[in-house]
Structure 1
Amino acid sequence: MTRWTPDPTFYPSPRDASAAPAETLAYVAAFDRSASRPDAIAVIDTDPASSSYGSVVGWTDLPHTGDELHHFGWNACSSALCPTAPHPHVERRYLIVPGLRSSRIYVLDVGDDPRAPRIVKEIPADELASRAGYSRPHTIHCGPDGIYVSALGAGDGDDGPGGIAVLDHTTFDVRGPWENDRGDQYLAYDFWWHLTRDVLVTSEWGTPSMIENGIDPALLLNRQYGHRLHFWDLAKRNLVQTVDLGDQYQMPLELRPAHDPTKEYGFVGVVVSVEDLSASIWVWHRVDGSFEVTKVIDIPAEPADAADLPPALQPFGAVPPLVTDIDLSVDDRYLYVSAWGTGELKQYDVSDPFHPVETGSVRLGGVVRRQAHPSSPSERLAGGPQMVEVSRDGKRVYVTNSLYGAWDDQFYPDGVGAWLAKIDVADGGGMALDERFFPHGDDFRGRRVHQTRLQGGDASSDSYCFPSA
């Protein structure tokens, strides 16, 4: 049936999105590291007035084993209202869920019963490979003209290059590869865009062989993981410019462009510097027609006794922050930075993106610290704030604790567990953990948890084509 009015969760501007009703459900990717049981999408009650608040209220097992769910996203969002390629009659109804190891992609319908996601389509790995030339699908973004899927590997048996595939909005068929001329781009990871400027940005991690068995110390010390950002012509699908951050800055991962469509800047987090184990945040911005990338935040490693460190870190006598996710509030005011190694979520006021000011910090887990949650003060937590999701109104932040199965095992060899925490944001900055909200352990049926998506959209789901009035 055709919708004659746009989906009410589509918002023309960031301000409209910020004023939307609060989410009442969260969807969480849960994966079985042993690959002996199916991965699943867990549904969490996020309504503080509900008797099941903070509990798992829905669970959908996938039909296969060995997928390793990681990132996922919506089929449609506010970009459907863009005048250049309008699709106002699609609905934010389907979750597009890739298996990072299996290269399968699942389509789950949450429209009929939001607490019971229903699998309506499976895109096999060979379809992604034959039609787009890719494998290891990673990040999902809904665009005005289709569903974009980044992929880390090639689909022809080679390790790379990675890139972007496009799915049809309606049928979910694989249309093909997005790139027209990729230049020398080979490594892939995240992507985002400035829709009104016809600019797409991509970052770099590594090919499947570089990441699937854990971080390779030789590759890291030889500076062979990604260290560049690529800027593309979104309409022509051509690579226009590449900026090298310097090969000591390994793994620029998550990209967070300004939500204001009149702005042409964004943030990228760098996992580690091989020179001092620090992490960093950089801003891309245009200067005289070209893009520059400027470092604006350094987060140092924390000294530690070698006896308290996993084997991978013992030679260094320190815990690297390992910034593995960042998220930008819809009003572009606060940037949230997850330091998975040290077990910290940092909040920065980035009203001036070139001069961030730290305004809050929450500690949970950490390689050495193992900071407990206030609801279970005697329970030493493994993992740390990893995937970060911010509500549309910017008042709530959700964090999960698993990075990637093989990497979890290296940094937390005694087990990473599973937990999802909710953090309340104070007016004017500052954060506090919600003691009532902490699904963890057996709540996730022995699975680890990675990305969270919020019902109706969240800070990293949507791009907007109209500025706030």
Structure 2
Amino acid sequence: MPRWKPDPTFYPSPRDAIAGPPEKLAYVAAFDRAAQTPDAIAVLDVDPGSGSYGQVVGWTSLPHTGDELHHFGWNACSSALCPSAPHPHAERRYLIVPGLRSSRIHVLDTRPDAAAPQVVKVIEAEELAAKAGYSRPHTVHCGPGGIYVTALGGADGAEGPGGIALLDHTSFEVLDRWEADRGPQYLAYDAWWHIAHDVLVSSEWGTPSMIEDGVVAELLLGRKYGHALHFWDLRGRKHLQTVDLGDEHQMALELRPAHDPTKKYGFAGVVVSVEDLSASVWLWHEEDGRWTATKVISIPAEPADPAALPPVIQPFGAVPPLVTDIDLSVDDQWLYVSCWGTGELRRYDVSDPFHPVAAGSVRIGGIVNRTPHPAAPDLPLAGGPQMVEVSRDGKRVYVTNSLYGAWDDQFYPDGVGAWMAKLDSGTEFTFDQRFFPHGDAFRGLRPHQTRLQGGDASSDSYCYP
């Protein structure tokens, strides 16, 4: 039955989303590095007034092993209200959950019990390959005309090009490859858009062989990983322009466009510079009718005793920050930057996006520091703030500690563990000491991306200011 009123979690504007009710559940992708038990979606209670606050209250195992859950997203969101591609009777009901290593895509229904999602469909790798020509599905965005799934690899063993597969909003059938004209684009990673301006932006990581067994030093030092942003005609599905950040800036990953649909800028995170091991954040924007990008944040590496470092970075005598995720609050004021290598989460005031101002920092984990959570001061932690998710009202920030199985093992060879933390973001930027699921809470799996019930800062696009 179609809905006669739009889903109440669809908001026409960022202001309306910020004013909506707070989330009560968080969905967290968790995977088994050994591929011996099924990966899962863990459901956590994030209602501070609940007796089970901070605990895993639901657990949905997937039907196979070896998927390596990574990023996932909703089937529909506030973009359904956009006049250019309206789907006002869709529901934010299904989680679209790709397996990055298996190339399967799972569809989980969060009704009737939001704490017990049910697997209702599995799109096999063969269907994704046959209908879209892709493998290794990575990022999911609900958008105009369907569900957009970026993929890192090509079909039938081809390394690439990677790109975007389009899925139907309701049947979840693979419709086609999104690109009508990809131009020079070959590497893929994230994709998002300025929906009111008909512009899609995509970024670059590497092909499957470049990532699946860990960082390949020869490729990194040879500057072969992705280092460009691509700009596209969203409705025409055509490549318009490449903006190269410079090949010293390796792995241009997460994209966070302004939520205000009247704005035409966004932030991109770069993992590492091969010149000095620094990490950076770039601002893309228009200049004289063309897209360009400006480095607005640079984070230096931290000197360290080589004996304390894993072999992959021992020769450098320093810990790279490794910016592996960024997130922008819905009001476009705060940018959160995760430094997975040094174990730091930074907050910046980006009210003036060209001139970010440092506005808080916390430490947890880290290759050398192993900083504990305040709730467990005697427990050294591996990993670091990795995936970052921000509540719609901007008051709560959730982080998990695992990056990607093979990369975890390289940078934390003694084990990355499993933990999740929450920060309160207001005048102060501090840990919530009541919220620290870790260790056995994740049943031996490693937590990665978080999605919040009713949407979050990296789920929705808005068409009204």
Q: TM-score, normalised by structure 2?
A: 1.00
Distance across 1 between alignment mates of 2:373 and 2:365:
8
Distance across 2 between alignment mates of 1:261 and 1:269:
21
Aligned to 2:431: 433
Aligned to 1:102: 102
Aligned to 2:261: 261
Paired AA for residue 52 in structure 2: S
Pairing 1:1-400 to 2, within 5 Å after superposition: 1-400=1-400
Secondary structure at the counterpart of residue 276 of structure 1: coil
Secondary structure at the counterpart of residue 63 of structure 1: coil
Paired AA for residue 372 in structure 1: P
Paired AA for residue 22 in structure 2: A
Deviation, structure 1 residue 157: 1.6
Distance across 2 between alignment mates of 1:30 and 1:450:
6
1:284-328 CA distance string (max 9 Å, x none): 000111001000010000000011101111100000000000000
Deviation, structure 1 residue 417: 0.5
Aligned-pair identity (%):
76
| Contact 1:81–1:144 (CA under 8 A) maintained in structure 2 | no
Aligned to 1:463: 461
Deviation, structure 1 residue 187: 0.3
Deviation, structure 1 residue 155: 1.1
Secondary structure at the counterpart of residue 315 of structure 1: helix
Q: Does 1:419 find its partner at 2:422?
A: no
Aligned to 1:450: 448
Distance across 1 between alignment mates of 2:257 and 2:84:
20
Distance across 2 between alignment mates of 1:45 and 1:59:
12
Distance across 2 between alignment mates of 1:139 and 1:375:
32
Shift >6 Å, 4+ stretches: none
In the alignment, structure 1 segments of 5+ residues that lack a partner are none
Secondary structure at the counterpart of residue 156 of structure 1: coil
Distance across 2 between alignment mates of 1:85 and 1:273:
39
Aligned to 2:405: 405
Distance across 2 between alignment mates of 1:157 and 1:406:
20
Deviation, structure 1 residue 383: 0.1
Secondary structure at the counterpart of residue 180 of structure 1: coil
1:333-381 CA distance string (max 9 Å, x none): 0000000000000000000000000000010000000000011100000
Deviation, structure 1 residue 144: 2.5
Paired AA for residue 339 in structure 1: C
Distance across 1 between alignment mates of 2:277 and 2:405:
22
Paired AA for residue 11 in structure 2: Y
Secondary structure at the counterpart of residue 65 of structure 1: coil
Paired AA for residue 445 in structure 1: R
Paired AA for residue 436 in structure 1: R
Secondary structure at the counterpart of residue 85 of structure 1: coil
Distance across 2 between alignment mates of 1:288 and 1:112:
51
Secondary structure at the counterpart of residue 192 of structure 1: strand
Distance across 1 between alignment mates of 2:255 and 2:200:
11
Deviation, structure 1 residue 156: 2.4
| Contact 1:322–1:340 (CA under 8 A) maintained in structure 2 | yes
Distance across 1 between alignment mates of 2:318 and 2:209:
27
Deviation, structure 1 residue 437: 0.2
In the alignment, structure 2 segments of 5+ residues that lack a partner are none
Secondary structure at the counterpart of residue 220 of structure 1: helix
Secondary structure at the counterpart of residue 63 of structure 2: strand
Paired AA for residue 298 in structure 1: S
Deviation, structure 1 residue 77: 0.1
Secondary structure at the counterpart of residue 38 of structure 1: coil
Paired AA for residue 101 in structure 2: R
Distance across 1 between alignment mates of 2:217 and 2:11:
45
| Contact 1:304–1:318 (CA under 8 A) maintained in structure 2 | yes
Deviation, structure 1 residue 113: 0.2
1:433-452 CA distance string (max 9 Å, x none): 00000000000000001000
Paired AA for residue 252 in structure 1: A
Secondary structure at the counterpart of residue 330 of structure 2: coil
Distance across 2 between alignment mates of 1:62 and 1:170:
21
Distance across 1 between alignment mates of 2:80 and 2:144:
5
| Contact 1:160–1:207 (CA under 8 A) maintained in structure 2 | yes
Distance across 1 between alignment mates of 2:236 and 2:456:
29
| Contact 1:327–1:336 (CA under 8 A) maintained in structure 2 | yes
Distance across 1 between alignment mates of 2:3 and 2:369:
51
Paired positions, count: 465
Deviation, structure 1 residue 235: 1.0
Distance across 2 between alignment mates of 1:228 and 1:124:
30
Deviation, structure 1 residue 190: 0.3
Paired AA for residue 326 in structure 2: I
Distance across 2 between alignment mates of 1:362 and 1:112:
38
Secondary structure at the counterpart of residue 80 of structure 1: helix
